Amino acid sequence: MSTLIRANSILPGRREDIELHTADGLTLVGELALPPAGRPPVATLICLHPLPTHGGMMDSHVFRKAAWRLPALADVAVLRFNTRGTGSVRGTSEGAFGQAVGERFDVAAAIEYAEFAELPARWLLGWSFGTDLALKYGCDPGVTGAILLSPALRFATGADLAVWNDSGKPVTALVPEFDDYLRPAEARERFTAIAQAEVVGVPRAKHLWVGDAETVLDEVVRRVAPAVPVPLPREWDGPMEYGDASAYADRTVAAFADVPVAGPAQRDAVDHPTRRNAGNA
């Protein structure tokens, strides 16, 4: 009998705790989720999480659901990790938040791990702050392309976009209709700097993708594993476990915390009626 896939459903797969080692001497904690035994992955997601100062981590809900579902539903491997100084149930990575500077070594370590593990078709999946890391440091020969969730374009520069443009690698930006910082119309204008960039506006969605994780996963799979039919199944006929999502409730609250973050100023979306703190990206 089929069972509805819920927010805390864990579908079958091979999951192992991993450590990444950066060029500047730090150890980062993470997890690699692979399809069930006997099924090699067809593609790989390297997840770059939102701002750790505002609750972002490897277990941010879209990434958690990707790791719990996509190995079984789409034969996609999911590598997620905590950037320097970031903690979650998995543990805390060494170092301290680097304001999108030191994190260049974190991105490189994740790509290197995926290469040595011989994971196929390595795509960066950045979310908010993680999209800036992808754009600044992810255009690597070992990377197939990038998918950007709620890109804020706060730390990434025109020079960073030019590198992706010149590479010809595919870039897709999934932009919520009601994003706090960058909405579809402005995103399409700003991403003209990358000729091959695809900007997909997602109706009614917001920056944190609450209630829209399934839409995100469908759009991700559509690009990294085009042979897999989408929308993905919403029910599962087979063994299923359940994770404890209660440990992350405080992180959802933290995403709205009024805590300043050093770095370039972050504008609100041009048609946003009120101003919220820039650090939430």
Give residues with Cβ within 8 angstroms of 137, minimum separation 6: 103, 104, 107, 108
* pLDDT category of residue 245 using cuts at 50, 70 and 90: confident
Kindly report, residue by residue over 60-84, the tens digit of the pLDDT: 999 999 999 999 999 999 999 999 9
Q: Is the pLDDT of residue 277 over 60?
A: no
| Predicted pLDDT at 231 | 98
Give percent of the chain above pLDDT 90.
Answer: 86
pLDDT reading at 268 higher than 80: no
Tell which wins on pLDDT, 269 or 248.
Answer: 248
C-alpha distances (whole Å) from 249 to each of 21, 25, 33, 82 are: 29, 32, 23, 18
Q: What confidence tier does 137 reach under pLDDT thresholds 50, 70, 90?
A: very high
Cα 100 to Cα 152: distance, rounded to the nearest angstrom: 13
Q: How many domains does the chain have?
A: 1
Reported confidence tier of residue 190, pLDDT bands at 50, 70, 90: very high
For the chain, how many residues are written?
A: 281
Q: pLDDT > 70: what percent of the chain?
A: 88
pLDDT band at 264 (very low <50, low <70, confident <90, very high): low
Q: How confident is the model at residue 200 (pLDDT cuts 50, 70, 90)?
A: very high
How is residue 26 written in tokens?
């730090």
Residue 95, domain CATH:
3.40.50.1820
Residue 278 confidence (pLDDT): 32
- pLDDT value, residue 119: 98
| Residue range of the domain that includes 229 | 3-280
One DSSP character per residue, the chain reads --EE--TTEE-S-EEEEEEEE-TTS-EEEEEEEEPSTT---SEEEEEE-S-GGGT--TTSHHHHHHHHHHHHHH-EEEEEEPPTT-EETTEE-SS---TTTTHHHHHHHHHHHHHHTT-SSEEEEEETHHHHHHHHH---TT--EEEEES---SS--HHHHHHHHHH---EEEEEETT-SS--HHHHHHHGGGSTT-EEEEETT--TT-TT-HHHHHHHHHHHH-TTS-SSPPSEE-S--EE--GGGGHHHHHHTT-----SSS--PPPTT-SS---GGG-
Q: Span 14-35, mean pLDDT?
A: 98
Q: Tell me: pLDDT of 253 over 70.
A: no
